[in-house]
Amino acid sequence: MKRWLTLMLLFFAFSIFAQVQIAEWTFESSLPTNSGPHDAESGSGQAYGYHTSSSTAYSSPVGNGSGHSFSSNRWEIGDYYEFISSTTGLEKISVGWDQTGSNTGPKDFSFQYSVDGGASYTTVLSYQLTNDSWSSVGGRKSVSTRFVDLSSYSDLNDVSIVYFRLICITNNSINNGSIAVDGSSRVDNFSIVAAQTLPILLNSFNLDNSNHRTQITFSTSLEINNSHFIIEWSPDARSWKAIGSIEGSGTSTISHQYKYLHESPKSGINYYRLTQVDYDGKYQTFPVKSIHFEAEAHDFTISPSLVEHDMELGFNQAVDQGQVEIYSMEGRLVANYQISNGVNSLRINASNLQRGQYIARFSNDYETINKKFIKF
């Protein structure tokens, strides 16, 4: 019994990850009384209607086996329904929908998509509608249902914004005449599904200034065999250093929140990137994020106050780059030291200095600080 239950759970888990529903519009909660946007009832996305005529009436009559659908009249060539969503982290896209019309409504449509923000569209197929007399009872009529397998269209994979369009392409009506003013077309149950390819779906990746430290937060909505995350930092977006690792959630279908605090970012622009690693060692790296920190003023102290042999300059914060110069009271440079790599202090051998007063000067590209000391 226990073995059977385990096998069933494994089969169920496989079924979840074999296909992912991106978005679905049933128009049962967002009743279309205008052109849109109308939010998807499942997943994330918006639906719109576009008509050349400003007198077009939008409505939500009975759907295909449901209470409502998205309907409009006054159809002309080039008018369309459009559905917008994202395929980030996904591939092998498929789309299905139900569509019908009145006898004097438009007959000929094309199914198109765009992955460049609507600048250009690819036509996948053309099709014709029939008047299928939809009803809210008796189930969906399969004659109205269309399904398009887009798995061979690789440009649809892993895209932040995708447009799917059902566009009227002729003036022919369903009854083989011309489209009438009151001729309508309606769509229902528009669904976008895909195969899960990336081991996680990253919902967010954010950087915030927390008292001159970088608070890194990110979240996922789906993880598959996810071992851990690696957080990397760079001062120039070229050379990268791993600064932290966070354990992943293995395989999970619920949302997870993660955070990491980078204690010592540099002044100026700091770059961060996130890498996800599977249990088998495969990995993916997400786009780079950046955050800017204003330079904080440096200060330093000199100890001991009366210098005999060695003296130490202690800085109030790490110094990435700068120099320390020792001047006599007459303004003569007697020593020079370069500072880099985030040091917090500098030890100087002052044994060769003559007795008297001196000035220790720290400077970098944007500040200069002078402090007096006495050598005895």
Domain-by-domain residue ranges, the chain?
2-196, 200-293, 300-375
Quickly name the fold that domain 200-293 has. Answer: Immunoglobulin-like (2.60.40)
Q: Is 142 helix (H, G, I), strand (E, B) or coil?
A: helix
Q: Do domains 200-293 and 300-375 have the same CATH topology?
A: yes
Q: If residue 2 lies in a helix (H) or strand (E), which one and from where to where?
A: helix 2-18
Q: Determine the average pLDDT of the residues in 320-324.
A: 88
In terms of Cα–Cα distance, which of 216, 222, 120, 128 is closest to 162?
120
Q: Determine the average pLDDT of the residues in 321-343.
A: 91
pLDDT score at 9: 36
Residue 211 dihedral angles phi and psi, to the nearest 5° = 55, 50
Please check the confidence at residue 14 and state whether its pLDDT lies above 50.
no
Considering only residues 293 and 5, tell me which one the structure prediction assigns the higher pLDDT.
293
Question: Which CATH architecture fits 300-375?
Answer: Sandwich (2.60)
Of 11-20, 120-129, 208-217, 226-235, the poorest mean pLDDT is in 11-20
* Average pLDDT, rounded, for the chain: 90
pLDDT digits (tens, 9 = 90+) for 66-101: 999 999 999 999 999 999 999 987 888 999 999 999
Q: Determine the average pLDDT of the residues in 131-156.
A: 93
Of 278-282, 317-321, 342-346, the poorest mean pLDDT is in 317-321
Query: How many Cβ atoms from other residues are within 10 Å of residue 376's Cβ?
Result: 8
User: Whole-angstrom distance between the N-terminal and C-terminal Cα of the chain?
Assistant: 89
Structure tokens at 124: 């996948």
Classify the C-alpha dihedral 173-178-179-181 as positive or negative.
Answer: negative
Of 6-15, 117-126, 129-138, the poorest mean pLDDT is in 6-15
pLDDT score at 2: 35
- pTM of the predicted protein model: 0.53
Q: How are beta strands 306-307 and 368-375 bridged, if at all?
A: parallel
Structure tokens at 58: 């939008």
pLDDT digits (tens, 9 = 90+) for 196-244: 556 788 999 999 999 889 999 999 988 888 999 999 999 988 899 999 9
Please check the confidence at residue 4 and state whether its pLDDT lies above 50.
no
pLDDT band per the 50, 70, 90 thresholds, residue 195: confident
Structure tokens at 311: 């003296």
Percent of the chain with pLDDT over 90: 73
Please identify which residue in the block is written with the tokens 């149950």.
Answer: 189
Structure tokens at 86: 């994202």
pLDDT band per the 50, 70, 90 thresholds, residue 13: very low
C-alpha 23/C-alpha 36 separation (Å) is 16
Structure tokens at 159: 């895209």
Considering only residues 64 and 29, tell me which one the structure prediction assigns the higher pLDDT.
64
pLDDT score at 198: 63
Query: How many Cβ atoms from other residues are within 10 Å of residue 197's Cβ?
Result: 15
pLDDT score at 88: 86
Residue 189 dihedral angles phi and psi, to the nearest 5° = 55, 45
Please check the confidence at residue 18 and state whether its pLDDT lies above 60.
no
Strand ranges (E), 115-240: 122-128, 145-149, 162-168, 185-196, 200-209, 214-234
Q: What is the CA radius of gyration of the chain?
A: 33
Question: Which CATH architecture fits 2-196?
Answer: Sandwich (2.60)
pLDDT band per the 50, 70, 90 thresholds, residue 280: confident
